[in-house]
Amino acid sequence: MSTHVFITRHIPDSGIKLLKKHKSIKLDIYEKDQQIPRKELLKRVKGVDIILSILTERIDAEVFDAAGPQLKMVANYAVGFDNIDLKEASKRGIMVTNSPHPSVSESVAEHTIALMLALAHRIVETDKFTRAGKYHAWGPQLFLGTDLFGKTVGIIGTGRIGEGVVRRLHDGFNMKIIYTDLKPNKKLEKETGAIYRNLNQLLKESDIVSVHVPLLVSTKGLIGARELKLMKKTAFLINTARGPIVQEKPLVKALMKGDIAGAGLDVYECEPFIDCDPSDNLELRKLTNVVLTPHTASATLNTRQAMSQVAAKNILAFLKGEVPPNKAG
């Protein structure tokens, strides 16, 4: 008897090859390299045993109903679970896994620092300026930026990614590290000299604030108007975690008013839309003190292939009757 697995979008082939080695697995992959339309998703999951989902798909009661009672697993091709209704899955006895891998943390940590450097050295602005043919001669005050060396960086969340950022900045830029988390990270403090602060203290003291917490009820909207007001006018905000952690409208207003100096964003509150409300004339894309990337912090070939293998291995472990290594909860 075969196991029907539906993959909601084509993922890197290393995981697909692992699944194809097993003749008992029937693979069905959405053909187009784009987010699957909701109506198509509900149609394609009918009768499947396992869904390998992408973080762009909301997997909820409607999807479970459309699939049918034989659905036994959702293997999420993502580091988190915020696109999946875990309570509903648990109620129905559906196994849910995600696909973290050490290389994800390394890639996102590197991308975070790339955003910091791009802001501090005004890379995007100067690239546009040079391409437009406006550079005619060196000037002592042309596009003056900011050094990272010796500055204070505030890390919100010291999981694998946050810790990776801390170690790179401590070792490579001699930055003072302050951080906040649910509890002090004594190992990190000992090895990097990082200093624990509550969120308000961190925001007040940091030259750069970098967000590295998961999206939870407690972290949604964590950074809003009040928090941005606490930051230095010369400070940068970086978010490579999840968009809804930072409130878009207050952020745009703070950037426009000069309450903070700039922002580097890989994720957005109303993603995939960069602008939550086109009618309010508060658009991130219009601001020159913002660097935007399209949720590509983990987009390296090695990392995405590794995630593909993790998702496939979770499925194979489940089919063997084992507890998958990345089971939710």
Residue 276: the pLDDT is 94
> Is the domain of 34 the same as that of 120?
no
Is-contact 274 267, C-beta < 8 A?
A: no
> Is the domain of 189 the same as that of 309?
no
> Is the domain of 275 the same as that of 306?
no
User: Cα–Cα distance between 11 and 129 in angstroms, integer?
Assistant: 37
Residue 4: the pLDDT is 97
**Which two three-digit tokens encode residue 130?**
């040079």
Residue 184: the pLDDT is 95
- For the whole prediction, is pTM greater than 0.85? yes
CA-derived radius of gyration, the chain: 22
**Which two three-digit tokens encode residue 272?**
């995939």
For residue range 180-224, list pLDDT tens digits in order: 999 999 999 999 999 999 999 999 999 999 999 999 999 999 999
> Is the domain of 108 the same as that of 251?
yes
> Is the domain of 36 the same as that of 152?
no
Q: Please choose, from the candidates 256, 265, 245, the residue with its C-alpha nearest in 3D space to the C-alpha of residue 283.
A: 256
Q: What is the DSSP string of 31-72?
A: -SSSPPPHHHHHHHTTT-SEEEEETTS-BSHHHHHHH-TT--
Residue 272: the pLDDT is 87
Residue 1: the pLDDT is 77
User: Catalytic site residues?
Assistant: 242, 271, 295
Q: What is the CATH number of the domain that holds 191?
A: 3.40.50.720
Instruction: Give, for 203, the enclosing helix (H) or strand (E).
Output: helix 199-205
> Is the domain of 229 the same as that of 132?
yes
On the 0-12 / 13-18 / 19+ scale of CB atoms within 10 A, 127 is exposed
User: Cα–Cα distance between 149 and 169 in angstroms, integer?
Assistant: 9
> Is the domain of 315 the same as that of 188?
no
> Is the domain of 37 the same as that of 147?
no
Q: pLDDT below 70 — which residues of the chain?
A: none
Flag whether 324 is in a domain. no
Domain encompassing residue 30:
3-98+302-319
Flag whether 328 is in a domain. no
Looking at the DSSP bridge assignments, the partners of residue 239 are 211, 265
User: Cα–Cα distance between 268 and 239 in angstroms, integer?
Assistant: 9
Is-contact 82 324, C-beta < 8 A?
A: no
